[in-house]
Amino acid sequence: MYRAVSNEVQAQPQAQAQPKFKVLKALGRGSYGTVYKVQRLADGQAYAMKETDIGKMSHQERSDAALAV
């Protein structure tokens, strides 16, 4: 079983951020992005993380997606 997490886990600049998750594999792809199986480095727990391409979304869809996190 996987837990959903936001892809905002690394909101800091990439050069300074410590990775919190390790991508294990891609689980699926859709019209707006990709879902990955990831492992939290702190405890090894498995999660599903969705990476979304917001450039393909309308303003309303971006607003709705932000509320779903």
pLDDT at position 7: 46
Q: Which domain holds residue 24?
A: 3-68
Q: What is the pLDDT of residues 2-21, one digit of tens each?
A: 455 554 444 444 455 678 99
9 or 58: whose pLDDT is higher?
A: 58
- Annotated binding-site residues for ATP read 50
Specify whether the CB–CB gap between 41 and 20 falls below 8 A. yes
pLDDT of res. 19: 86
The CATH number of residue 35's host domain is 3.30.200.20
Whole-prediction pTM: 0.62
Average pLDDT, the chain: 80
Neighbours of 49 (CB within 10 A): 20
Nearest to 3 by CA among 50, 41, 42: 50
Give me the pLDDT at residue 69, please. 64
In the annotated binding site, the residues are 50
pLDDT of residue 36: 96
Grouping H, G, I as helix, E, B as strand and the rest as coil, residue 29 is strand
Give the chain's domain count.
Answer: 1
